[in-house]
Structure 1
Amino acid sequence: MEKAQPLPPQKSNSFSSSSREEKLRESNRSLSFGAIKLEDRHQKKETDYNREDRIKEGKEINADEKQEEKEEATKENFQEAEPNFIAISEEIDHFLAILVSLQDAQFQISEPPELPESNIETFIAMLEMEIATYESGEQKWSPDHDEICLLDAFNRLHKLTSALTPLSSNAKYNHAMNRTGSALHHAMAFLEDEFFSLLDENSRAKQQDPGSASSKTKRPPSFSRPQQQPQQQHEQDRCILPSAESSTHEDSPTYPPDVVERLRGIAAAMISAGYVTECSEVFAVARHNAFYAGLSSLGFEKIGIDDVQKMAWDSLEGEIATWIRAFRHSITVSFPSERELFDIVFSGHQEIANSLFSDLALRAVFQLLNFAEAVAMTKRSTEKLFKMLDIYESLRDLMPTIDAILSVEANEEEESASSPAMDLKSEISAIRSRLGEAAVAIFCDLETSIKTDTGKTPVPGGAVHPLTRYVMNYLKYACEYKNTLEQIFRDYQRSERPSSYDDDGDDAPSDSTSNHENKENNNNADDPNPFAEQLMEVMELLHANLESKSKLYKDQALCNIFLMNNGRYIMKKIKGAAEINELLGDAWCRKRSSDLRQYHKNYQRETWSKVLACFRDGGLNVKGNVSKPVLKERFKSFNAMFDEILKTQSSWVVSDEQLQSELRVSISAVVVPAYRSFLGRYSQYLDPGRQTEKYIKFGADDLENYIDELFDGNPSSMARRRT
């Protein structure tokens, strides 16, 4: 360990030789007081030795003498020990005061004052005995008066060593200096051990206290393969991590106040004695260990880049959620607590506190960033978009806090380009850049997913296609990151369309951290929005794909039901997500609503125009009379067509209740009145009884009831009703 080396006193001839000799004589008289007391103690020891000799010779010691000696020993041990130590300490202080006064007065010490060597030796012996008691474990060093006195004694020992150093050329003082230097080294080693023990024991006690940090965060929905999405999908909410405000700022400072005060006292003693390096290293190691143990208690463990690359997505997804929680907790809770602890323990030594804390924070953040960088380097796939955006947002949102923690100056010109803080800012910017590039590429890959979905098997019953559900749910969750994606797309906009980005992204522009926040909040209608344009392109591709898939149905009516189902699902999702609605705009929504109305008209024309043709008057009158054969044929045609419609369209699926109701009402509004009017005009021309029952199978009310059971996707229920 290093020892403090105080500067030698400066020489001066400001005092006369007579005054110098008088001062030395006075100091020697003062120091002799301690020697006299020490002589008394030696006489007491001699008496004790005589008593031992008498015991060896077999001479008897009566009971009164034994009791008297016992009481005397008790008195000596409990009453005289402390005063003797105090008296010796006072003598040493007096000796130090003389040396300091001579040095301060720039006095030439040709004949230094008499050295109270016996007092110094006794002082050191008592101090080492006290240290040995604690080192042996016989007694625990507790925060009471003894600890304060011991620290005070260590400081006195340091001052004594420093004062003797300039006099080491004198043989008489050289031995004392070596003795005090060795004792000081031992004392500082003891303090170093105590310092680490206090730090380590309290850290482990805190880590064993279970908290809520181990609870897992709810995972967001998976977007892996659209073909595997169920038709009736219960959508989960997006995973929202707890904000900094919701985190509990617990145990601030990290240790109890009494422990912090003890740490502060030890640090002050070690720094004062010149053992700054040892004190700093012990504190840094202990706090680094405690900090990473805290990360482990949050569930985060260090994972290598290769391991991240090989990890299955389900496992990596959980690790990312854990990382985000650990990163946010570290920046918003752990670092402020650590900052407070460092400032208190090293109060009066702000430079040391700043240096140690900066080192801890930088190391911790760099280690956490290694995981984020590894995630950005993984193979890209659609389901990874949201977790990458979560990491991106965490880095972006907490960067101001990181700046504040590390006291980064606003004027970057005053900072060294190679400073650790600037390196950290550059690293975070680079990782955000890679995450943003990956997010743009993944989102643009959605185009490819739509284009390559060319299945030739139509969805049964014209229901909503899995691709539609997949794309719209994906967009719904993506648009919850609307501001972030707009920022990313602006940062990475190119002269060509974003969908043509290369996987390596070599030409992507650098991250413009200083501008994106203003752009995010100050866009106007004339500003191009590359994310909105990309979203529009995705919607157009989906529309074209659905138009193509509708042609797989041979029945044109079912083709329109399919388009209505998917169109209504899309519109419902858009109306339920204000972000998508805002990005697509009212004009786009009006166009799609118009398409839906046209699909509806096309369906009615394809299905019910032929039915309504049965109710026309044309062709029924022949020479002014109703032709019964033609009338019977009309009823037969209607019955056959309606039976076929019931049989076929009861198996078709319209899952949206509002659309289902609209279709049924519109059909009933057209068909039922026409049928009721036709019956009223021509039913009397059929002979009552058997002939009427043969040709008139449906009443007007029955017709309405049957229509109300269309599009249930359950033809068996219709068949049971007909039997």
Structure 2
Amino acid sequence: MPSKGMRSICFSPRTPSFALAPTTTSTASSPARSSPARSTISNPNSTPGRRSSFSDYRTQQIIETASAIVTKWDPETSPYAKVTSLFYESKPEALQFLKCLTDLQTAMRLLSAQDSKDPRLVRAQHLMQIGMKRLQKEFYQILSTNRAYLDPESISTRSSARSSLSDFDGVDDDDNAAGADAIAEVEQVSSLAMDDLRSIAECMISAGYAKECVGIYRVIRKSIVDEGIYRLGVERVGSLSRMSWESVELRVKAWLEAVKVAVRTLFNGERILCDHVFAAFDSVRESCFAEISKDGAALLFGFPELLLAKIKKKDGTAPDRVFRILDMYAAISENWTEIESIFESDSTSAVRSQALNSLARLGESARSMLAEFESTIQKDKHHHSSKSPVPIDGGIHPLTNYVADYLALLADDYNSVLADILHDWPSPPTAKSSSPSSTEYSFFDSPRSDDESQEPALSARFSWLLLVLLSKLDGKAKSYKDASLSYLFLANNLSYVVSRAARGSNLGFVIGEEWVGKHEAKVGQFAANYERLAWGPVLAALPEEDPAATVSAEEAREVFKRFGSRFEEAYRKQSCCIVEDPKLRDEIKKSIARKLVPRYRGFYEKNRATAGARRNVGIFVKYTPQDVARYLSELFLEVIVEEGSSPSTSSTSSSSHRR
């Protein structure tokens, strides 16, 4: 507000109502005594019958002393007083000014009790009005000129800055010394200004000028709070419904930072300053702070409701929105202790209610979005896409990527927040009859109860969501015509989920080591079933009893021919498959090689010579054991093998067929 406008508010003439409030005894030195006019003071011994007393003499003396100093600093009669600050020019004289007004108030009480028509009472009232007008001017000047030293950040962080510098005690560092001196200077100016404001406020409120004092304070300090909220990026908007989600997210990010700064710095600093200035008057202190902070706090803590209204719109229903909801929930909950402390009075209960309401609604929205996420898994429509077909190579389904990564991110960044939100939410079904319909996953593992580091509600919810995913994948696996490929698909996808839980993620901690261990074993079972179905026929081409036994030439030729044909067929089909997890890929290849290569080598070494002459052996014996081992090592490397090609053909042209 312009200074001219402020002066019109501060210095409007009035007739004060003098409350019978207790006055504080000032420790300032008494002003020099003025010589009272003889005509106004009667000697008790000079006029018999008149009840003059020392009290009358003292009252007159107080009025004369106040008249001298108040008149000196009356801006209406003194050009010097109009352009000079009393508290800046002479602090001792400023304290004397305050004491004279306090004493004048005492004298006015006595005169009013004795004779309300006493001319001295009228004079004292006139002096009080002039004195209060001067204090209004001083109060306004101190608040305005010391704005940089009375900003909420300086006030709220003063002690923390001092403590951080104390960590370097004993270190000869010029920069630290300079920083300490600068902080000390700011603290000194700030403390002096706060003490002056408190002295003026106590004098004015005790004299019945609370409205004028609080009015000046409220106008100046409220503008600081409102400006601070605006600078933090929190603006008053009617609705977010017409904004794009990208624009809304920018506002959310600004709000998240604003909450921390506003609570710990802006509102906290204003609370400290207000408590100090109006320390002697509880009701004034609380009502003043409420008026200063309520609009900014309502704007800040009301923003989540605008976001939730946006979430309900069609473009805001994606489960991904839950991350912003959880961020906002965490911002309020993590600062709740400070919020409750700063806005603890009845006059600021509306702010607490607003923050609590936003917190509750954010929690409800997060639970609703988790339910929507479960529905997304069931419908297989993540990212608003249509249902995805199973990968032809038995690889990882997009739904698996989406769900596992989603849950891992929630577990990593929002573990404690979700535990708080879900602790009183009904647990998912735990009975076998309630689990999703499935052949491979007709079970549900409840979270361990003996692990104090786990949150049972959170663990149960995540375990259930994973069960829904795995049951969905089990249904998708049935769409493969090749049974071996369905098991490879299950092994790939479950391995991805387990690896996200066991490696570099907090997901494993949430669902428990027991869950991870059981499902790692399940991956092994799927891989074993794949091996049996995909490579069992190749192994069965060799003699069952003793592959190293010598057989007839005709029988040897038949075994080699059968083995070569089945090996080519199996290799052609399995070369189209991939296993993305390096660990699982190596385990499957090594397992197949351990079963197949030694048996073939034994038969090869015993019967190759009997299968035919050297020049004709290639007709019957296409592969050496070394060939078989090499081709198996090239499995699952994303090589496309064309129909009718042999392992050797695919091997030589693999570089041109890699995806």
Give TM-score scaled by structure 1 length: 0.65
Match of 1:722 in 2: 652
Which residue identity lines up with residue 398 of structure 1 in the other structure?
Answer: N
Tell me how far 1:661 sits from its aligned partner.
Answer: 0.7
Tell me how far 1:571 sits from its aligned partner.
Answer: 1.4
Match of 1:331 in 2: 263
2:204 matches 1:278: no
1:130 to 1:609, Cα distance in 2 relative to 1, 3 A: farther
Match of 2:226 in 1: 292
Which residue identity lines up with residue 491 of structure 1 in the other structure?
Answer: D
Match of 1:687 in 2: 612
SS at structure 2 position matched to 1:678: helix
Map 1:148-547; keep pairs closer than 5 Å. Answer: 148-150=92-94, 152-153=96-97, 156=100, 163=107, 166=112, 169=117, 176=123, 180=127, 183-184=130-131, 186-198=133-145, 200=147, 202=149, 256-297=190-231, 299-304=232-237, 306-307=239-240, 309-377=241-309, 378-379=311-312, 380-407=317-344, 419-453=346-380, 455=387, 457-480=389-412, 481-493=414-426, 531-547=458-474
Which residue identity lines up with residue 286 of structure 1 in the other structure?
Answer: I
Match of 1:602 in 2: 529
Match of 2:165 in 1: none
Map 1:661-700; keep pairs closer than 5 Å. Answer: 661-700=586-625
Task: Give the Cα separation in 2 of the matches to 1:131 and 1:276.
Answer: 26
Which residue identity lines up with residue 595 of structure 2 in the other structure?
Answer: V
2:584 matches 1:659: yes
Contact 1:254/1:338 (8 A) holds in 2: no
Per-residue CA shift, 1:681-713, capped at 9, x if unaligned? 210013343312343333222321221111111
Match of 2:442 in 1: none
Per-residue CA shift, 1:337-391, capped at 9, x if unaligned? 3333223333544553344335545554333221123233432431122332233
Indicate the structure (1 or 2) with the bigger Cα radius of gyration. 1
Consecutive unaligned residues of structure 1, counting only runs of 5 or more, are 9-85, 208-248, 409-418, 498-521
1:496 to 1:588, Cα distance in 2 relative to 1, 3 A: closer
Question: Which range moves more in the overlay, 540-549 or 342-351?
Answer: 342-351
Match of 2:383 in 1: none
Tell me how far 1:665 sits from its aligned partner.
Answer: 0.5
Task: Give the Cα separation in 1 of the matches to 2:605 and 2:637.
Answer: 31
Which residue identity lines up with residue 117 of structure 2 in the other structure?
Answer: S
Task: Give the Cα separation in 2 of the matches to 1:472 and 1:589.
Answer: 13
Task: Give the Cα separation in 2 of the matches to 1:530 and 1:583.
Answer: 10
Contact 2:197/2:277 (8 A) holds in 1: yes
Match of 1:564 in 2: 491
Contact 2:377/2:468 (8 A) holds in 1: yes
Task: Give the Cα separation in 1 of the matches to 2:613 and 2:81.
Answer: 120
Tell me how far 1:143 sits from its aligned partner.
Answer: 5.5
Per-residue CA shift, 1:53-85, capped at 9, x if unaligned? xxxxxxxxxxxxxxxxxxxxxxxxxxxxxxxxx
1:711 to 1:142, Cα distance in 2 relative to 1, 3 A: farther
Task: Give the Cα separation in 2 of the matches to 1:566 and 1:433.
Answer: 37
Task: Give the Cα separation in 2 of the matches to 1:468 and 1:119.
Answer: 85
Question: Which range moves more in the overlay, 354-363 or 678-687?
Answer: 354-363
Which residue identity lines up with residue 235 of structure 2 in the other structure?
Answer: K
Choose from 538, 554, 558 the match for 2:481: 554
Per-residue CA shift, 1:237-296, capped at 9, x if unaligned? xxxxxxxxxxxx999979733433443344344335432222212222322222233334
Task: Give the Cα separation in 1 of the matches to 2:148 and 2:78.
Answer: 20
Which residue identity lines up with residue 91 of structure 1 in the other structure?
Answer: S
Task: Give the Cα separation in 2 of the matches to 1:251 and 1:313.
Answer: 47
1:114 to 1:361, Cα distance in 2 relative to 1, 3 A: closer
Per-residue CA shift, 1:513-567, capped at 9, x if unaligned? xxxxxxxxx9999x99555443333222211211222233333322222111101
1:105 to 1:712, Cα distance in 2 relative to 1, 3 A: farther
Contact 1:131/1:190 (8 A) holds in 2: no
Task: Give the Cα separation in 1 of the matches to 2:650 and 2:133.
Answer: 99
1:156 to 1:657, Cα distance in 2 relative to 1, 3 A: same
Which residue identity lines up with residue 485 of structure 1 in the other structure?
Answer: L
1:94 to 1:664, Cα distance in 2 relative to 1, 3 A: farther
Consecutive unaligned residues of structure 2, counting only runs of 5 or more, are 1-11, 21-28, 45-49, 155-182, 381-385, 431-448, 642-646, 654-659
Match of 1:233 in 2: none
SS at structure 2 position matched to 1:127: coil
Identical pairs, percent: 22
Task: Give the Cα separation in 2 of the matches to 1:611 and 1:150.
Answer: 105
Contact 1:463/1:565 (8 A) holds in 2: yes
Which residue identity lines up with residue 578 of structure 2 in the other structure?
Answer: V
SS at structure 1 position matched to 2:634: coil
Task: Give the Cα separation in 1 of the matches to 2:331 and 2:529.
Answer: 50
Q: Could you say what the CA RMSD is over the residues aligned between the two structures, in angstroms?
A: 4.7
Task: Give the Cα separation in 2 of the matches to 1:152 and 1:186.
Answer: 16
Choose from 712, 715, 723 the match for 2:637: 712
Give TM-score scaled by structure 2 length: 0.70
1:496 to 1:435, Cα distance in 2 relative to 1, 3 A: farther
SS at structure 2 position matched to 1:560: helix
Question: Which range moves more in the overlay, 658-667 or 713-722?
Answer: 713-722
1:489 to 1:357, Cα distance in 2 relative to 1, 3 A: same
Contact 1:267/1:345 (8 A) holds in 2: yes
